[in-house]
Amino acid sequence: MENQANSKLYRVIGGIFISSIDPLLEPTQEVLNKTYGITHILTVMKQNLPDYYKENYTTMQIPIDDAPNEVLFTYFKQSNDFISSALFGKTFDELLADSENKDNALQQIKRSKHQGKILIHCSAGQSRSPAFLIAFLMKFYQMNYKTAKYAISRSKSDIQPNESFESQLLFYKKLECEDNPKKLDMNTEFNQFLREMQFSQIPSSSVEDNIKAFLSDSSNFKDEHNSGTWNTNDPMYELRCKRCRQMLAKSNYFVNHEPPLEEPTEDGSEGYRNPANKQLYFTKNAFKSRRVISRERASNNCTHYFVEPLTWMKDELSKGEMEGKFNCLKCQAKVGGYSWKGSRCSCGKWMIPAMDLQVSKVDKVLIRRK
């Protein structure tokens, strides 16, 4: 193995190397290819590489900062395809197309020897570049987050994606490493995840500007009458006003949420019930004090249906309030509410931002069976 401590390049597995920007700023720029055989460079930062590398290597740049509001999903497909092309000469989809059976293709990828070599780097080689390499290892080698991170840290011990990147990678794994933008756009759970990032990881002074930007984009509002691309093998429901039977939402725009009972285990396997999870309890403190007056266990039953922002909600949301209520358009009965800062379901789960219809105010009606 190369003397990685001196070279500042760290070989992770096969033809995959990781580093900071330092090795690319050295006078002997041809060393990457002559010494290590590297032909591809993935740059994960906004600073441009010296022209030499663009002229003599196959390069790709992901222009992001090491900041909590950066969305990695936007780049996962192109970064995965670039790394795959460097190592195997084909993208992930092309590798799958070579086999009629996906499971067999995945096993073949695991056994395949890397044909090329790639360097993945950012400024310090600690957060951004490891995050994209972890995404690749999870997708191509079916690793969980912890295993992928460990595979890199064996060579470069100081890696640590920031908290937001880590959260996105864990969610990426939950989505079975889906990186197709069209499929992600139709995934309500993914859209809710992005909204949570948008409204929970910004300075409070920017919340109003963020709301205005959200409201100005008509694509953020879904037509409650549209069934969209709903899977015809699944049942469909409507939520109707309990008083006048006005249709308010269809189940294709429900934002499903899991009660906060499960926490990831250290080995990345299925979760366990963690009594220390604060979302499991509703705690009341004394006035201007941290002294706990009462502490009640969250309910096992949800009292709210959380939904995508729907077209009939836009007038209410456009009033500029941080929170408010939704009234039925037909009879004006209160049917739900919203909070841009987020609110908790009776099960304890935080939803940010929260658009909800109350179970007690609506009827859930089956309109299409399996």
Q: Catalytic site residues?
A: 122
Contacts of residue 5, defined as CB under 8 A and 6 or more positions apart, other chains included, come to none
Rg of the Cα atoms in the chain: 24
The token pair that represents 132 in the structure block: 């994209």
What three-state secondary structure class fits 171?
A: helix
Report yes or no: 73 and 172 within 8 Å, Cβ to Cβ: yes
Contacts of residue 101, defined as CB under 8 A and 6 or more positions apart, other chains included, come to none
For residue 334, which phi and psi values (nearest 5 degrees)? -65, 130
Cβ of 35: how many Cβ atoms within 10 Å? 12
* Helix residue spans in 37-144 (DSSP H): 51-56, 73-88, 92-97, 102-111, 128-141
Residue (of 186, 208, 169, 146) closest to 73 by Cα position = 169
Single-letter code of the amino acid located at 242 = K
Contacts of residue 300, defined as CB under 8 A and 6 or more positions apart, other chains included, come to 259, 347
Find the angle CA(137)-CA(141)-CA(144) to the nearest 5 degrees.
65
Q: How far is CA 118 from CA 93, 177, 282, in A?
A: 19, 21, 50
Question: Do the strands 16-19 and 118-121 form a parallel or antiparallel pair, or are they unpaired?
Answer: parallel
Report yes or no: 294 and 283 within 8 Å, Cβ to Cβ: yes
Report yes or no: 14 and 113 within 8 Å, Cβ to Cβ: yes
Residue (of 300, 266, 265, 264) closest to 280 by Cα position = 300
